[in-house]
Structure 1
Amino acid sequence: MSTLEIKDLHVSIVTDQGVKAILKGVTLTINTGETHAIMGPNGSGKSTLAATIAGHPRYTVDSGSITLDGEDVLAMSVDQRARAGLFLAMQYPVEIPGVTMTNFLRTAKTAIDGEAPKLRTWTKDVKAAMAQLRIEPEFAERNVNEGFSGGEKKRHEILQLELLNPKFAILDETDSGLDVDALKVVSEGVNRTIEAGGLGTMLITHYTRILRYIKPDFVHVFVDGAIAEQGGPELADRLEAEGYDRFQVEETATA
């Protein structure tokens, strides 16, 4: 079992108005085999947490720690974090003109594993994963995300997840912009990876609809850069019924 541990994490960014604190003391532990849903209103710090774990340079860690099996994640470069077993499915996947999906995926796999995969086995694995995610074969020779629809981009993110097989996946609003059919396909891909290798999952979402397909073990509610409440799957059901209004009221009352 591997453990991703976040302790008393404080993170800020520089804005036109000066330094702004985003995360205000987040503590969270995820073990492989566990699925943690991170929920909360817009601007509560969910995506900041994801980007900080991945090593985005815009975010400054003011205090606290992130460790992976006791190793200091914050001391690692972005590529070192990926090789250590961290994977980020981006909220807004970027286009990479001039780089085909085929080249991108094999280069990434080689970088993660330290050696190139055997071509015959790799080609078979890629085709099988693409078929399961309902990605047409011709997409393999298209440039990464170039001209892709929102749903196609999200499926490509999950294709990477399945092929790279990390220890921990941070899925930043993977459900945004997906219709019901695409949501089911993407969720099935995540579930396959969880079942195959005991993936530790941080699933960031506003809504409970993806949680009907990817069942969380734990739910954490973010409000104003901190965890306001946490519990089991029943907490997501309560959020669907009540929304986030009661947290906003509590935040106003304590301000």
Structure 2
Amino acid sequence: MAKLVIKNLRVAVAGDLILNGVDLEINDGEIHALMGPNGTGKSTLSETIMGNPRYQICDGQIILNDMDITELMVDERARAGIFLAMQYPTEVAGISNADFIHAALNAQNDGKSVPVLPFLKELEEKMSFLEIAEDYADRGLNADFSGGEKKRNEILQMMMLKPKLAILDEIDSGLDIDALKIVAKGINAMRGRNFSCLMVTHYQRLLNYVIPDVVHVMMDGKIIKTGGAELAKQLEKTGYGNLN
């Protein structure tokens, strides 16, 4: 089961109110797109769901599968099944991609070690699926990766960790069309029961390859409009100024 409910969420950063009463519900098996102009709170919502302590919750609740996670720490939320693909993935030169993903799986498994050989076999399969070269497993985490390589690496982590809820913050940013199709292929491969997804994006082009069940528009720290996939196409034509 992978259901997220957000109720009247108000969030401040450094004393400034950014989210001003967000209500959102993502049902089991649904993929939602969150769109809106820059500076309206989309990334703030993503980071708040994941539990980044920089974002202070002033009011409201975040509920995952009937469990209130509003006060949980980041690692607790991760173990509960939440995954965040960050807009700007961090480079960690001293830890290999393979070691990082294996350690994350061990933590997800309550500290019990995931057998290495089956792990490496699945990692190789997923890397091949995402057209990632084999040597990337031994390279430092995101170290000297291009923007597109970092985004594919985030999708690789998602496919290996198999979260209940994935939050993809501008996973399409800076991708050429070939990389975009590969990222979309990875997201679509996860689609199904027991997996829900919130994709933050500015552009319709990702939604040509990952058709969302629901599209939301955020402005001034609130979700002001919700519709189907056709809403994103409308925005592509008319922009945000003509919403009604």
Normalising by structure 1, we get a TM-score of: 0.93
Q: In the TM superposition, what whole-angstrom CA distance separates every residue of 1:198-234 from its partner, at most 9, and x where no partner exists?
A: 4101010011100001110000000010011111111
Aligned residue pairs, count: 243
Aligned to 1:157: 154
Which aligned pairs between 1:109-128 and structure 2 lie closer than 5 A? 109-114=105-110, 115-128=112-125
CA RMSD of aligned residues (A): 1.1
Look up the equivalent residue of 2:2 and give its one-letter code: S
Q: Counterpart in 2 of 1:253?
A: none
> Conserved in 2, the CA contact under 8 Å of 1:32 and 1:168?
no
| CA distance, structure 2, for counterparts of residue 40 and residue 106 of structure 1 | 36
Measured after TM superposition, the shift of residue 245 of structure 1 is 2.1
Out of 128, 132, 142, the position equivalent to 1:135 is 132
Pairwise mapping of residues 1-255 of structure 1 onto structure 2 (< 5 A)?
1-14=1-14, 19-114=15-110, 115-195=112-192, 198-247=194-243
Kindly indicate whether the alpha-carbon contact (under 8 Å) linking 2:2 and 2:194 is maintained by their aligned counterparts in 1: no
**Cα offset for 1:147?**
0.3
Between the aligned partners of 2:118 and 2:208, the Cα distance in structure 1 is 34
Shift of 1:192: 0.5
Task: Give me the whole-angstrom Cα distance separating, in 2, the residues matched to 1:229 and 1:147.
Answer: 39
The CA distance in 1 between the partners of 2:28 and 2:170, in whole Å, is 20
Output one character per residue of 1:70-94: Cα deviation in whole Å (capped at 9) or x when no partner.
2121221110100000000000001
- Cα distance in 2 between the residues matched to 1:102 and 1:85: 20
1:244 counterpart SS class? coil
Q: Which stretches of structure 1, 4 residues or longer, exceed 4 Å deviation after superposition?
A: none
Tell me if the contact between 2:170 and 2:199 (Cα under 8 Å) persists in the aligned partners: yes
Task: Give the fraction of aligned pairs with identical amino acids, expressed as a percent.
Answer: 49
Contact 2:11 2:58 in 1 (8 A): yes
* Secondary structure, aligned partner of 1:102: helix
Structure 2: give runs of 5+ residues left out of the alignment: none
Does structure 1 retain, via aligned residues, the 8 Å contact 2:50–2:77? yes
Q: SS in structure 1 opposite 2:57? A: strand
Higher helix share: 1
Give TM-score scaled by structure 2 length: 0.97
Question: Shift of the alpha carbon at 1:32?
Answer: 2.1
Q: Give the unaligned 5+ runs of structure 1.
A: 251-255
Q: Partners in 1 of 2:128 and 2:2 — Cα distance?
A: 30
